[in-house]
Structure 1
Amino acid sequence: MAQGPVDNIILLADCYKSSHYKAYPPGTTKLYAYFESRGGKFPYTVFFGLQYLLKRWLCGPVLTKTMVEEAKGVIDAVFKREDVFNEKGWNYILEHHGGRLPLRIKAIPEGTVLPTRNVLFTVENTDPAVPWITNFFETILVQTWYPMTVATNSHIFKQIIHHYASLTSDSTEFVEFMMHDAGYRGVSSVESAALGGAAHMISCKASDTVAGTSLLRKFYHLKGVGGFSTPSSEHSTVTTWGRDREAEAHRHMLEVYHQGDAGCVCDSYDIWKCLEETWGGELKEMVLERGKRGGCVYLRPDSGDPKEVVLRSLEALGKAFGTETNTKGYKMLPPCVRVIQADGINHHSLWAILEHIKKHGWSTTCAFFGAGAALLQQVDRDTQKCAYKVSYAEVNGEGVEVYKQPITDTGKNSKKGRLTLQHQDGKCVTVQSGKGDPAKDLLVTVFEDGELLKDYTFTEVQERAANVPSDFDVIEFLRSDAGR
C-alpha cells in the first residue's frame, strides 16, 4: 500500500503515551499487557487483522534517527514543553536494537472463533531497559478491533442466511455468495475499506470492495481474489436513457454482457411495472435464454420497505417465470432469475425479510442480499468492548499483578497476571495469575524483536473461521439483541 499521512512509528500513539515512561514505578523492568473483547454485541469473535498491522507497521527496522528528531519536535510542540519526549529511550532502541522493536506478541491464530471475555493476544517488552514500549503501542495494536469486529459481523450475517437456507432449501451451496459487500463508498477511508472488505471475505465470497482483495494479496498470501462480483447496472446507467427508454436500458445491459450473470437495478421509476412488464414480459425470453447458458439475472429493488418489497418482487417474478416446489415444500424461482436486496440491510432487517418470505412459502435462497454501512461502518470499538490492559509488571525484581476494578462498572474489571488460553471441559478459558499450563497455551508467538514468526495465509484464516460455536443459536441471538 502507498504510504499514509503518518509514517513515523513514534507518532502512531495517543500523545499522552509519550509521557508515561516517567510515570511507572522506579525500577520497573517488565510490562505485560493483553487484548480482549470484554463482551459486547456478539457472543464470540472471529480474530483477524493483527498480522496486517504487524506487517504494515512493526516488522523489521522501523525506527530511524530522523523519526526520533521529527517526533521530538512534534511532541515538544504538542505539550508546549521539552521535558516530555523520551528521546533517550527511542535512541536506546535505535542504538541497541537497530531500530527493531524489542517486543514479544503472542496471539491466537487468525480466523479463530473464540467466545468473548478471553485473551486474544498478549504483548511484553523483551529488553528490561524499555518496559514502557509495551503500552506505548497500545494505540495501533488496539486497532485490531476493526477487522476483528467486521469479521464477526459478517460471520453472523452468514449464520442468519445459512439458518434459513437450511430450513427452506434443498441446498446451502450458495450461502457464501448470498451476502454481498457493497460498503466501499460508505467507509471512512481506503484502509478501512481494505481491512473491512478483507474481513468480510473470510466468511462470504460476494463483494464489490475490491480493496479487500488487494490487502489479502499483499498481507495474507492470497493468489487469486477473495470476493467475486458480476456486471451490474446502477441508477445512472438506467436513468441516462430516460424514463421512456428504461426497458431499452435493461435490454442493452443484457446485450453488452450477453453471457454469465448480470445485475439490474429496477426501482428507477416504477419497480412493479419494471418487474411485471419489462422483465416478466418484454425481456423474459432473454432471461430464459441466458439461463439455458448457465447465467442468472439478479434484479435489485433499492427503495421501500425491504420486507414487503422483496416478497412482492418474488411474487411478481414467480407469476411471470413460474415456480417449482422443492423437497422442503417451498417455492423456487427458476435458476435464471433472483432478487437481490441491498438497501437497508442489517441483521434485524435481514431476519425480518427471511422470516417474512419463508412464512409466505418462498425458499429464502431466491433472495440474495447486500450490505454497506451495516457491514463495514456501523461498528466501533465498543461493539465488542475491546480493551488492552497491563496485567503484569516486574518492579525491582519482583513480579506484580496489575489490574483494575472500577466500583462503578464491574464490566471493566481487568485480568490479573500472566495469562494463558486453554481448553477446559470442552471450552476455551483464560487462566490468570500465571496459573496456566504453558504447554497447553493456545496463544502462539507471532512477533518477537521486530520479526514476524507466524505468517498466516488467507486459506488458513478461512478454514478456522468456518467453525461456529456449538452452543450458538443465531435466532436466539437476534431475539436477545432486539431486546437490548
Structure 2
Amino acid sequence: MRLNVNKIILSTLIWLSARWVADTSPLCAFVPQVTHYKQYPPNTSKVYSYFECRETRTEPTKNRKVKYDKTVFYGLQYILHKYLKGKVVTPEKIQEAKEVYREHFQDDVFNEKGWNYILEKYDGHLPIEIKAVPEGSVIPRGNVLFTVESTDPECYWLTNWVETILVQIWYPITVATNSREQKKILAKFLLETSGNLTGLELKLHDFGYRGVSSQETAGIGASAHLVNFKGTDTVAGIGVIKKYYGTKDPVPGFSVPAAEHSTITAWGKDHEKDAFEHIIKQFPNVPVSGGEDLRSLIVSRSADAPLVVRPDSGDPLDTVLKVLEILGKKFPPTENSLGYRVLPPYIRVIQGDGTVGVCVGVGCFKRLRVQPDLNQPASTHTPTEAFLIY
C-alpha cells in the first residue's frame, strides 16, 4: 500500500471545515474551549499549537517510561478530509450551537460574533494552517508531528478550538505503532526460522471488527493496521484507505472464507466431519470430484488455497503447539534449509483467540523454535501460512 502523503503536507493556507451530523464545528469542541476566547490576553492575534507523542508518561503514580520509543504517524489525512475540509459554518449551525451552549452553561458565553465573522469573511471556511510530517513516518517520541496556527488575527481562538477533533489521531497512531512493533517481532522470528521475509505483510491479521466501539472506530483502526499489513477481516478499513488516502492496489487488504462456531455446530454433534467436508467443497480453488474423503480433499488443495485450522479455546501457547503436533502426524512435514519442520503447503494454522499481543507472540515463537520435534509454520505462499498472533 502506498499512502498519498502529498495531500497531507499542508504548508500553505488551507481552509478547513467540518460537517454536522454529530460534529458541526461550533459544537465539536471540549466544553472549556467554548469560553477560552474570553480568557486570552488582550490584543492576542495568533495562537500556535503543536501535537507530539510525549517522551514520558504524565501520571506520577505510574511507570513514566513509555512502551515504545518511536511512533507511526498516521490518521491526520482522514480527519482533515472527513471533518476539516470545505465549508464548515452555516447560519443554522451557529444558531444551533448558540442554543445548545446557552442551555448547557445557563448563560450566553458562546462566541457567536466570532463564528459569524468566519461565516461572512471566509464563507464558512476555517482560517487555520496545519503542517505535518508525512503520514507513515516513524518518528521518535518528543518530536512535533503536526502544528496548527490561526491565519487571521480575529480568529486567534480558533487554533485550539479544533484540538478536540485533531487529538483523536491518538487512536490510529496507537494502532499503527502497535502493529509495527508486532511486525518487527514477526520479522525477527521469520528470518530465524525460514531465512527470508516472504509473506511478512500477511502474518498479522485484523480480527477486531466485532470488538470496537463503533463503525467509524473499526474503519480508522483497521486502516491503521493496513499501514503495516495486508491481512484484515475488518473491511471498514479498506473503505477508509480507498476514500481518504488512495492506493495503487485495487484492494489494500485481503482475507479468506472462514468458519465459526455456528456454521459447524449447526450440523449437529455427530456430523462435524460432514461440516468440514462441505465447507472445503464450497471453497475449493481446485477441481473436486465425487467420492473423495476428507483427507484427500485437503491434500488436493493448492498452496494458494490451503485449509487453515484455527483453534479457538485453551491457552494459545499450548493449543498452537498441540494442533501442530496433531497435524504433523496426519500430514507429514518437510524440513527447510534451517532445519525447521514445515507443514505441507496445503494446510496451515492460524491463532486468533486469547492472544496477548507482543508477549504471546514472543513466547509462542520461542517455544516453537526450541522444540524441533514440533512442526514449525513456514513462510511460503499465503496470508494464512503461519499461526496468527494478534
TM-score range (shorter-chain normalised) is: 0.7 to 0.9
Deviation at 1:178, TM superposition (A): 1.2
The equivalent residue for 2:160 is: 135
Pair 1:319-2:329 in alignment: yes
Pair 1:154-2:179 in alignment: yes
Instruction: Map Cα deviations across residues 385-435 of structure 1 (whole Å, 9 max, x no partner).
Output: xxxxxxxxxxxxxxxxxxxxxxxxxxxxxxxxxxxxxxxxxxxxxxxxxxx
- Unmatched tracts of structure 1, length 5 or more: 261-280, 372-484
Does the CA-based 8 Å contact 1:43-1:115 persist in structure 2?
A: yes
Does the CA-based 8 Å contact 2:360-2:389 persist in structure 1?
A: no
Out of 197, 202, 211, the position equivalent to 1:177 is 202
Deviation at 1:195, TM superposition (A): 0.4
The equivalent residue for 2:244 is: 219
Instruction: Map Cα deviations across residues 145-179 of structure 1 (whole Å, 9 max, x no partner).
Output: 11111111111111111110000013321111111
Pair 1:308-2:318 in alignment: yes
Calculate percent identity across the aligned residue pairs.
46
Deviation at 1:370, TM superposition (A): 5.3
Deviation at 1:244, TM superposition (A): 0.4
Larger proportion of strand: 1
The equivalent residue for 2:111 is: 86
- The one-letter code sitting in structure 1 at the alignment partner of 2:281 is E
- The one-letter code sitting in structure 2 at the alignment partner of 1:75 is Y
Query: TM-score, normalised on structure 2?
Result: 0.86
- The one-letter code sitting in structure 2 at the alignment partner of 1:15 is V
Pair 1:50-2:76 in alignment: yes
Out of 28, 42, 65, the position equivalent to 1:26 is 42
The equivalent residue for 1:196 is: 221
Instruction: Map Cα deviations across residues 27-83 of structure 1 (whole Å, 9 max, x no partner).
Output: 11111000000033221111111001000111111111111110000011111111x
RMSD: 1.6
The equivalent residue for 2:12 is: none
Deviation at 1:120, TM superposition (A): 0.3
Deviation at 1:295, TM superposition (A): 2.2
Query: TM-score, normalised on structure 1?
Result: 0.70
Does the CA-based 8 Å contact 1:102-1:127 persist in structure 2?
A: yes
Pair 1:286-2:297 in alignment: yes
Does the CA-based 8 Å contact 1:164-1:364 persist in structure 2?
A: no
Equivalent-residue separation in structure 1 for 2:366 and 2:293 (angstroms):
32
Aligned length: 347
Pair 1:258-2:284 in alignment: yes
Does the CA-based 8 Å contact 1:325-1:331 persist in structure 2?
A: yes
Correspondence 1:5-404 to 2 at 5 A: 5-39=21-55, 40-82=66-108, 84-222=109-247, 224-259=250-285, 283-291=294-302, 294-345=304-355, 346-361=357-372, 362-365=375-378, 367-369=386-388, 371=390
Does the CA-based 8 Å contact 2:222-2:234 persist in structure 1?
A: yes
SS in 2 for 1:74: helix
Q: Where in structure 1 do 4 or more consecutive aligned residues deviate above 2 Å?
A: 361-368
Instruction: Map Cα deviations across residues 65-110 of structure 1 (whole Å, 9 max, x no partner).
Output: 111110000011111111x100011111111111111101010000
Equivalent-residue separation in structure 1 for 2:371 and 2:28 (angstroms):
54
Instruction: Map Cα deviations across residues 249-308 of structure 1 (whole Å, 9 max, x no partner).
Output: 000000111117xxxxxxxxxxxxxxxxxxxx96221111113x7421110001101001
Equivalent-residue separation in structure 1 for 2:386 and 2:321 (angstroms):
9
Instruction: Map Cα deviations across residues 109-132 of structure 1 (whole Å, 9 max, x no partner).
Output: 001011111110000000011101
Deviation at 1:197, TM superposition (A): 0.5
- Unmatched tracts of structure 2, length 5 or more: 1-18, 56-65, 287-291, 379-384
- The one-letter code sitting in structure 1 at the alignment partner of 2:94 is V
Equivalent-residue separation in structure 2 for 1:79 and 1:66 (angstroms):
20
Deviation at 1:359, TM superposition (A): 1.0
1:370/1:181 CA distance change after superposition, 3 Å: farther
- The one-letter code sitting in structure 2 at the alignment partner of 1:209 is T
Equivalent-residue separation in structure 2 for 1:344 and 1:93 (angstroms):
51
1:4/1:188 CA distance change after superposition, 3 Å: farther
Deviation at 1:4, TM superposition (A): 7.5
- The one-letter code sitting in structure 2 at the alignment partner of 1:122 is T
